[in-house]
Amino acid sequence: MTTASTPPKEPEDPRPSMGPVQRPRKLGRWMLFVVMMIVAVIMLYPFWVMIYTSLKSEAQFLAGSGFSWISWSSLTSVIPIGQEVLSSTIVCAASILLILIVGLPAGFAFSKLRFRLSTGIFLVMVSAMMVPLQAILMTEYVNVSRLHLTGGYTAAVLVYAALGTPFSVFLFSTYFRGVPDELIEAGIVDGLGYVGVLWRLVVPIALPAIATVTVLQFIQIWDDLLVGLFFIQNTSDRPITVGLAVLAAGRTTSIPELMAGSIISALPAMLVYVGFQRYLVKGLTMGIDR
Amino acid sequence: MATVSVNAPKARRLTLKRRRQLAGVVFALPAIALVIGFIGIPIGQDVYYSFTQWDGQTATWVGVSTWTQAFHNPNLWTALRNNALLLLSVPFALGLPLCIAVLLHQRVAGWRIFRTIYFLPTAISWVVLGLVAERFFAFQGTLNSIIHALGFSHFSTNLLGYQSEALLALGITFIFTMIGTNTMLFLTGLATLDPSLEEAARIDGAGRWRIFRNITLPHLSRFIQLAFVMTVIALFSALFSLIFVMTGGGPGYATTTVEYLIYQTGFNQGDFGTAALYGLILFVITGVVGIVQLRLIGSSE
Amino acid sequence: MRSFGAVAATLVLAGTFFATGPASASAKTTLTLWQNYGTEQNAVATTNLVKAFEKLNPNISIKIVAQPGTSYFNLLQTSAISGTGPDLAVMWTGVYDLKYANDLVNLKGNVPAADLAKMEGLQWEAPNFNASKGAYVMPLETQFYIGFYNKALFKKAGITSVPTDWSQLLADCKALKAKGIQPIVYGNGGQAISTEFYPWYDMSYLMIGAHSLTSWKGLYDGSIPWTSSANVTQLKDWATLEKDGYTNSDVLTNTANITQFEKGKAAMMVDGTWDTAQYTKTMGTNVAAFVPPYSVTPIKGVVEYPGDGFSVMKNSKYQKDDFKFLDFLTTTKAGNIINAAGLIPDISGLKTSNPVNQEMLNFVTVNHMTPYPMMDNYIQVNVGNAADSELPSVLAGQTTPLAALKNMASAWEQLPASLKSSTKFSG
């Protein structure tokens, strides 16, 4: 709350001598609240549109008014939504796992285990952060199909992991820079070996950073369309974003159904955020503040 | 900082350093391999394919003709211009969340709920956001309904219907989507700011603005840089989905960015040689932007 | 032809769900068929054709898979590269099947010649548009790009006969507007959500008005440049429709044009046969067909063309069974199923039961209009793509005809020589 800058002697006296400090502050806080509410309304607008639109039938939607649950109930017969959500989950989980497995040691290495050329390599890797998929889409696809990886989820997981690794390495190394060297030295002296140091000492304190990476990558991978569209050839392995794209690209698109599907698709990401929220704040803070 | 005594033989210290270096290499190797394999090599292949006529299956060498044609293609320059214009939205995508975060930091009643609400749109897929935005900006869409209701019918817009204005609609939508992440980032940063610093300055008589400029902002610089990085990354990759759903690159080529042009040239026209060249150009652009960012971050360490 | 650009209707996806169930029980071979249909008619036709075929061939079952319309060909191509593609696939004809010819199996020798001869317009599916060389696609139906009009609204404005040239069209539009009726409506209804209206229905007729069928070759090989004055004039006249207020003002962003036409909010619309059944269902006898009269002299050509069908993919391991299905498409039984779905069967001699569709067939057989191909299936894909982006803006008055045509011409310039030559065309 506010720091005590008013004399504590007359806290409830609304006399003019106190006025200039207390009343504008109260008025200010009310105005602030109103502004926050306005912003909240704006930010919630897409949800409002999604919910409002999904609670109509197609005919009602075109007519502009009406209320119906039918779009929700018909959704499952239009796309195999349960299966697709499952696919998305598997792909996300596997990709994030791979990113963590690969990124944690690397982040540790670049921040604490300096070796020759490590700074240079780090710079190159981090600049790879910016490479958008489109720049390498076709060549990537050709490579992956020559390796016969396009069957199930393999190709997509590898591509997602590769795309997410630079940023994660960047975050992890920034975070680990704050870990005291003495801790590591002590671990070595105790005979842990670097693997032990990493696993037993560093990773536990890295949980906030792990949470940050997990949340950010989850949202990015869950919402991605292109990789899921091209690299998962098996239609029964399709993720939810592709399923929605199939719905959206139609002349007989039922917008209410599309919105219902979108809400379902948005839920997991929201849940992940709310669940990891506490760690997220810590992760970003400690990582950068050092 | 070794705990070994000074009298230990040199051989032992060397081994320690070597062990550390070895561990470093081994630990970093998987990440390096993954990135080289799935990002580095395709970029190299882009270089090769840019000198060919490639339909996805067979590539015939044609030398520099792809390059010369590409640079004579007016659509490429339009796309580059569009990317540059969209970069202009980045200051807004940083400034607006900064203001919101500062306001939230005042700890109004229910600020935690507000914080969660502001972040929630991040969870919505860009495809859906594009759909919502498309309906918002449409000629018979929500924006115009609001304008009519407020009595300003004269100002009704058709942003998506005009080549000169569609990019604006796209930019606005992009800024909207970045508000959640960046606000959360800045709010986190503000939370780490020691309030006693602010207090001391206030007692010294410094005005609000001076406090903000000389104390708050410098402290937030790391966070601003991280937000900058994430925003630009989103601008060059996630924006594609928005364009895909909102405008299809149009009207005309007004909202076609280089990423979208790659997709169009490659997949719609089957001209993957030229698409590889565009991919290379895109990589150079993002590489340059990335290095500039790193310089900025590195300089303040 | 990219009028479809669309994806699974409820029925087809529901059909997909069920098709996988019972099929696995009794079938010996399972074929996979990819489709990009969103039109209820085509999707219904496909499902019913598959059902009938499976009844006649109990040891073959076909699994229909719906792919997103906007990426359909990308997916087909990438699946061909990785060898994970389908056995049968919906394929568009003309330059589309030529573009993917390397992945398709020629029907010649695989489907009995007598059956092939029953299909009309087969040259458009053939290498170099020469029917003697076989074909890559078995057409599903004959399609028209055509204009639809509302009879009651025409009567209200005192229009007694459909316009046959520019001046009559403008006069009719004026009469409609005077009665408070919107003459023509444009929109992207039927396209994927973010795209603009598909300009090729109009563009085909603009080019019919400007060039004879044999001259169309010139547009392909560059002997008639896209920027020629005839083309510029045609586009200019087309743009005046919007400028003079004879169309809706949001041509680029309107999504409800089909509904608006059905509800009688506009008198005319340029569309295709995939919507005929829908219009006759909602408008009954009030809807009729006319030929868009984008010509100074009375228009003499109509776009009649087998726009899509099915192809056998080279990667398929069951080509014999695939061709059995394609052969089935030449039978009268198949023709009846196609007709029942509101489409015009492509099999010669068969009639269509939809009166408006029959009107269109009469344009050719009774009025002796020249059948033209769909221009977007005829012209090189690069040029087509440039036109997709530029031409709608011409109508909206945001770019000049010359600027748009210049963009198309420069797309043409960048083609390799092999794609610019029309010497092998047989007509």
A-B C-beta contacts closer than 8 Å: 277
Position B62 in a domain: no
Residue of A nearest to C78 (CA): A230
Q: How confident is the model at residue C424 (pLDDT cuts 50, 70, 90)?
A: low
Which residue, C246, C238, C294, C285, is CA-closest to C266? C246
DSSP summary character for residue B216: I
Question: How many residues belong to chain B?
Answer: 301
Q: Which of A84, A252, A254 to mutate to test the interface with C (most CBs of C within 10 A)?
A: A252
CB within 8 Å: B279 and A137: yes
Give percent of chain B with pLDDT exceeding 70: 92
Q: Which of A37, A139, A246, A270 to mutate to test the interface with B (most CBs of B within 10 A)?
A: A139
**Of B123 and C284, more confident:** C284
Which residue, C177, C160, C189, C161, is CA-closest to C279? C189
Residue A128 clears pLDDT 60, i.e. is over it: yes
Give me the number of domains chain B comprises. Answer: 2
| Residue A131 contacts residue B43 (beta carbons within 8 Å) | yes
Residue of C nearest to A76 (CA): C14
Give percent of chain C with pLDDT exceeding 70: 91
Alpha-carbon distance C305 to C122, whole Å? Answer: 10
CB within 8 Å: C84 and A234: yes
Task: Specify whether B161 is located in the same domain as B32.
Answer: no
Q: What is the mean pLDDT of residues C353-366?
A: 90
Task: Give A 113-152 residues with CB within 8 A of chain B.
Answer: 113-116, 118, 121, 123, 125-140, 142-143
Q: Answer whether B120 touches A (CB < 8 Å).
A: yes
Q: How confident is the model at residue C24 (pLDDT cuts 50, 70, 90)?
A: very low
Task: Specify whether B99 is located in the same domain as B137.
Answer: yes
Q: How confident is the model at residue C181 (pLDDT cuts 50, 70, 90)?
A: very high
Residue B113 sits at φ, ψ, to 5 deg, of -65, -45
Q: In this predicted structure, which of A23-27, B142-146, B206-210, B266-270 has the lowest mean pLDDT?
A: A23-27
The DSSP-derived string for C9-37 is -HHHHHHHHHHHHHHHHH-SEEEEEEE--
CB within 8 Å: B290 and A130: yes
Q: In this predicted structure, which of A15-19, A57-61, A188-192, B107-111 has the lowest mean pLDDT?
A: A15-19
Alpha-carbon distance B101 to B116, whole Å? Answer: 12
The DSSP-derived string for C28-93 is SEEEEEEE---SHHHHHHHHHHHHHHHHH-TTEEEEEEE--GGGHHHHHHHHHHHT---SEEEEE-
Residue of C nearest to B271 (CA): C382
Position B54 in a domain: no
Q: What is the mean pLDDT of residues C325-331?
A: 92
**Of A152 and A63, more confident:** A152
Task: Specify whether B87 is located in the same domain as B187.
Answer: yes
Q: How confident is the model at residue A9 (pLDDT cuts 50, 70, 90)?
A: very low
Query: Which structure tokens are listed for B89?
Result: 């939205």
Chain B residues in contact with chain C using a Cβ-Cβ cutoff of 8 Å: 53, 56-57, 69, 72-75, 130-131, 134, 138-140, 158, 160-163, 244-253, 256, 264, 267-271
Residue B251 clears pLDDT 70, i.e. is over it: yes
Q: pLDDT of A194-242, one tens digit each? A: 788 788 888 888 888 888 888 888 988 888 888 888 888 777 888 888 8
Q: pLDDT of C210-269, one tens digit each? A: 999 889 989 999 999 999 999 999 999 999 999 999 999 888 888 788 889 999 999 999
Task: Specify whether B74 is located in the same domain as B139.
Answer: yes
Residue A289 clears pLDDT 60, i.e. is over it: no
Which residue, C426, C403, C122, C150, is CA-closest to C285? C150
Please list, in sequence order, all residues whose beta carbon lies within 8 angstroms of the beta carbon of residue C120, skipping any fewer than 6 positions away.
C139, C142, C306, C346, C347, C348
Q: Which chain C residues are within 8 Å of B267, Cβ to Cβ?
A: 71, 73-74, 77
Neighbours of chain A (3+ CB pairs under 8 A): B, C
CB within 8 Å: C66 and A246: yes
| Residue A133 contacts residue B43 (beta carbons within 8 Å) | no
Residue of C nearest to A150 (CA): C82
CB within 8 Å: B138 and C71: no
Task: Specify whether B148 is located in the same domain as B261.
Answer: yes
| Residue C120 contacts residue C306 (beta carbons within 8 Å) | yes
- Give the C-alpha distances (Å, rounded to integers) separating C351 from B95, B114, B266, C372: 67, 66, 42, 20
Alpha-carbon distance C413 to B69, whole Å? Answer: 9
Task: Give A 170-229 residues with CB within 8 A of chain B.
Answer: 181-182, 185-186, 188-189, 194-195, 198, 219-220, 222-223, 225-226
Which residue, B81, B93, B260, B98, is CA-closest to B173? B93
Task: Specify whether B24 is located in the same domain as B98.
Answer: no
Which residue, C219, C261, C280, is CA-closest to C405? C219
Position B84 in a domain: yes
Neighbours of chain C (3+ CB pairs under 8 A): A, B
Residue of C nearest to A148 (CA): C82
Number of H helices, E strands in chain B: 15, 2
Distance from CA of B114 to the nearest CA of A (A): 7
Q: In this predicted structure, which of A170-179, B73-82, B154-163, C330-339 has the lowest mean pLDDT?
A: B154-163
Q: Which of C252, C255, C418 to mutate to test the interface with B (most CBs of B within 10 A)?
A: C252
Which residue, A54, A287, A256, is CA-closest to A169? A287
Q: Which chain B residues are within 8 Å of C409, Cβ to Cβ?
A: none
Q: Which of C1, C7, C79 to mutate to test the interface with A (most CBs of A within 10 A)?
A: C7
ipTM over 0.85: no
Query: Which structure tokens are listed for A105?
Result: 């040691």
Q: Which of B122, B292, B299 to mutate to test the interface with A (most CBs of A within 10 A)?
A: B122
Per-residue pLDDT at A121: 87
Position B61 in a domain: no
Mean pLDDT, chain B, whole residue set: 81
Alpha-carbon distance B266 to B49, whole Å? Answer: 12
Residue C4 clears pLDDT 70, i.e. is over it: no
Position B234 in a domain: yes
Alpha-carbon distance C161 to C146, whole Å? Answer: 16
Residue type (1 letter), C276: T
DSSP alpha helices (H): ranges in C341-380? 355-365, 375-378
Residue B266 clears pLDDT 80, i.e. is over it: yes
CB within 8 Å: C9 and A77: no
Please list, in sequence order, all residues whose beta carbon lies within 8 angstroms of the beta carbon of residue A280, skipping any fewer than 6 positions away.
A208, A211, A212, A215, A273, B184
Per-residue pLDDT at C3: 37
DSSP alpha helices (H): ranges in C374-423? 375-378, 381-395, 401-413
Residue C21 clears pLDDT 50, i.e. is over it: no
Per-residue pLDDT at C53: 94
Distance from CA of C112 to the nearest CA of B (A): 31
**Of C52 and A176, more confident:** C52
- Smallest Cβ distance to C253: which of B53, B160, B253? B160
Helix, strand, coil proportions of chain A in percent (round to 5)? 75, 0, 25
Alpha-carbon distance A269 to A221, whole Å? Answer: 10
Return the biggest CA–CA distance within chain B.
Answer: 87
Task: Specify whether B111 is located in the same domain as B29.
Answer: no
Return the biggest CA–CA distance within chain C.
Answer: 66
CB within 8 Å: B108 and A36: yes
Q: In this predicted structure, which of A95-104, A170-179, B255-264, C265-274 has the lowest mean pLDDT?
A: A170-179
Per-residue pLDDT at A88: 92
| Residue B91 burial (CB count, 10 A) | 12
Task: Specify whether B202 is located in the same domain as B241.
Answer: yes
Position B146 in a domain: yes
CB within 8 Å: A246 and C10: no
Task: Specify whether B106 is located in the same domain as B13.
Answer: no
Alpha-carbon distance C211 to C205, whole Å? Answer: 10
Q: How confident is the model at residue A251 (pLDDT cuts 50, 70, 90)?
A: low
Query: Which structure tokens are listed for B133?
Result: 């935005």
- Partners of B52 in beta bridges: B61
CB within 8 Å: C392 and B160: no
Task: Specify whether B84 is located in the same domain as B25.
Answer: no
DSSP summary character for residue B56: S
Please list, in sequence order, all residues whose beta carbon lies within 8 angstroms of the beta carbon of residue A125, skipping any fewer than 6 positions away.
A106, A165, A166, A169, B31, B32, B35
Mean pLDDT, chain A, whole residue set: 79
Q: Could you tell me whether strands C138-139 and C182-184 are parallel, antiparallel, or unpaired per DSSP bridges? A: unpaired
Task: Specify whether B24 is located in the same domain as B146.
Answer: no
Domains of chain A as residue ranges with CATH? 16-73 (no CATH), 80-284 (1.10.3720.10)
Which residues span the domain enclosing B152? 67-299
The DSSP-derived string for C251-277 is TTT---HHHHHHTTSEEEEEEEGGGHH
- Smallest Cβ distance to C389: which of B69, B72, B252? B252
- Smallest Cβ distance to A281: which of B43, B188, B195? B188
Q: Which chain B residues are within 8 Å of A159, Cβ to Cβ?
A: 38
CB within 8 Å: B251 and C393: yes
CB within 8 Å: C407 and B248: no
Residue A22 clears pLDDT 80, i.e. is over it: no
Q: Answer whether A51 touches B (CB < 8 Å).
A: no
Q: pLDDT of C91-117, one tens digit each? A: 988 888 888 888 899 998 898 888 888
Position B133 in a domain: yes
Per-residue pLDDT at C167: 94
Give percent of chain A with pLDDT exceeding 90: 12
Residue B151 sits at φ, ψ, to 5 deg, of 90, 10
Alpha-carbon distance A177 to A192, whole Å? Answer: 20
B-C C-beta contacts closer than 8 Å: 86
| Residue B217 burial (CB count, 10 A) | 12
Q: Which chain C residues are within 8 Å of A246, Cβ to Cβ?
A: 7-8, 66-68
Task: Specify whether B142 is located in the same domain as B31.
Answer: no
Alpha-carbon distance B138 to C338, whole Å? Answer: 37
Task: Give B 39-78 residues with CB within 8 A of chain A.
Answer: 39-43, 45-46, 49, 56
Q: Which chain C residues are within 8 Å of B240, Cβ to Cβ?
A: none
Q: What is the dihedral of CA A269, A275, A276, A281, to 10 degrees?
A: 110
Alpha-carbon distance C41 to B106, whole Å? Answer: 60
- Give the C-alpha distances (Å, rounded to integers) separating C256 from A66, B138, C253, C357: 18, 12, 9, 23
CB within 8 Å: C398 and B56: no
**Of B155 and B12, more confident:** B155
Residue type (1 letter), C159: I
Per-residue pLDDT at C38: 61
Question: How many residues belong to chain C?
Answer: 427
